[in-house]
Amino acid sequence: MIITGITLQTKNTERVNLFVDGEFYAGVSALSAYKFRLEVGMEIDKMQLDKVLLDSDKDKAFDYALTYISKYTPTEKILKNKLYEKGYGKVVVEYVADKCKGYGYINDGEYARSYVALNSNIKGKSRLKMELRAKGVDEKYIQSALDKMPDNNACEELAKKHSKNQDLHDPKYRAKLIRFLQYRGYEWEDISQALATLRLVEED
């Protein structure tokens, strides 16, 4: 096979159209074309072309990842899922994820710490753990973040806010309040302490 044409794409000058044996073969990154020293008249086989396309896909996927990360703060799992959704294969996805981790663009440990810090005043440990697991964060990062979670009486404050103008002696309301706090991820120990404190405040 012979490369018969290499032309810049009109909508993206960082990519080129590659023509082989007189026909369009694929669009590849200009960087990949340069790295493999592609030029018109060059003889090339299918294996070499596959290497060029794989390298080009890595460049394109990494560019997409940088754009996504500039708008959002994803975990490794979320970023990988976005790349899979764009149609990239496992080799490319793993390459991009590793590269982003190497540059510090994604960091699940830091993500877990930030997530807990931002939500610890409205959610309990169980809820935070469940949400971080769903985002693909490793257990060691989750536990480390929860161990540093401040003891800010968040369950008590949330219960106080929810129970304003309510009768804490009403069994139906107490059951409703308990379900609400459990849904927010608070352990029974925290909930019972909050209820005990609220009753003392009401009696005072």
Q: What is the pLDDT of residues 99-140, one digit of tens each?
A: 999 999 999 999 999 999 888 877 888 889 999 999 999 999
Residue 151 pLDDT: 66
Q: How confident is the model at residue 62 (pLDDT cuts 50, 70, 90)?
A: very high
How far is residue 190 from each of residues 5, 55, 158, 172, 187, measured CA to CA in Å?
Answer: 70, 53, 11, 20, 5
DSSP 43: B
Nearest to 144 by CA among 115, 109, 118, 120: 109
Between 4 and 195, the higher pLDDT residue: 4
As a whole number, mean pLDDT of residues 20-24 equals 92
Secondary structure of residue 55 in the 3-state scheme:
helix
Predicted confidence (pLDDT) at residue 84 exceeds the cutoff of 70: yes
pLDDT band at 202 (very low <50, low <70, confident <90, very high): low
Q: How confident is the model at residue 201 (pLDDT cuts 50, 70, 90)?
A: low
Instruction: Give the residue among 163, 161, 167, 157 at the shortest CA–CA distance from 190.
Output: 157
Q: For the chain, what percent of residues have pLDDT higher than 70?
A: 96
